[in-house]
Structure 1
Amino acid sequence: MARRNGAPEVNAGSMADIAFLLLIFFLVTTTIETDAGLDRMLPPMEPPEEDVVIKQKNIFTVNINRNGQLLVEDELMDLRNLRESAKTFLENGADGSCEFCKGKRDPASSDNPTKAIISLKNDRETKYSTYITVQNELVGAYNDLRNREAQRLYGQDFTKMESEYLNPETPESVREGLKDKVKRIQEMFPQKLSEAETSTN
Structure 2
Amino acid sequence: MPRRKGAPEVNAGSMADIAFLLLIFFLVTTTIETDAGLDRMLPPFEPPNEEPPVIKQKNIFTVNINRNGQLLVEENLMDIKDLREAATKFLENGADGTCDYCKGRKDPASSDNPAKAIISLKNDRETKYSTYITVQNELVGAYNDLRNREAQRLYGKNFTTMEADYLNPETPSSVRDDLKDKVKRIQDMFPQKLSEAETTTD
TM-score (ref. length: structure 2): 0.85
2:78 equivalent in structure 1? 77
Matched, 1:101 2:102: yes
1:37 equivalent in structure 2? 37
Secondary structure (helix, strand or coil) at the match of 1:121 reads strand
2:192 equivalent in structure 1? 191
Secondary structure (helix, strand or coil) at the match of 1:173 reads helix
Secondary structure (helix, strand or coil) at the match of 1:119 reads strand
Q: CA deviation at 1:48?
A: 1.9
Q: How does 1:1-201 map to 2 (within 5 A)?
A: 5-13=5-13, 15-16=15-16, 19-20=19-20, 23=23, 32-42=32-42, 44-53=44-53, 54-201=55-202
Which digits, 9 at most, give the CA deviation of each residue in 1:85-139, with x for residues without a partner? 1011101112222121111222221111111110001111222222111111111
Which digits, 9 at most, give the CA deviation of each residue in 1:1-23, with x for residues without a partner? x9993454344345445645664
Q: CA deviation at 1:157?
A: 0.9
Secondary structure (helix, strand or coil) at the match of 1:183 reads helix
Greater shift in the superposed pair: 180-189 or 142-151: 180-189
Secondary structure (helix, strand or coil) at the match of 2:119 reads strand
Secondary structure (helix, strand or coil) at the match of 2:120 reads strand
Distance 2:73 2:100 in 1: 27
Amino acid at match of 1:91: E
State, as a whole percentage, how many aligned pairs show the same letter. 84
Contact 2:37 2:133 in 1 (8 A): no
Q: CA deviation at 1:66?
A: 1.6
Structure 1 residues 4, 186: closer, same or farther in 2, change over 3 A? farther
Amino acid at match of 2:71: L
Greater shift in the superposed pair: 50-59 or 191-200: 50-59
TM-score (ref. length: structure 1): 0.85
Structure 1 residues 169, 110: closer, same or farther in 2, change over 3 A? same
Greater shift in the superposed pair: 190-199 or 24-33: 24-33
Which digits, 9 at most, give the CA deviation of each residue in 1:11-40, with x for residues without a partner? 434544564566467657766554342123
Q: CA deviation at 1:51?
A: 1.6
Structural RMSD (CA): 2.6
Distance 1:20 1:169 in 2: 37
Distance 1:32 1:169 in 2: 26
Structure 1 residues 176, 22: closer, same or farther in 2, change over 3 A? farther
Structure 1 residues 25, 79: closer, same or farther in 2, change over 3 A? closer
Amino acid at match of 2:109: A
Distance 2:189 2:169 in 1: 25
Amino acid at match of 1:116: A
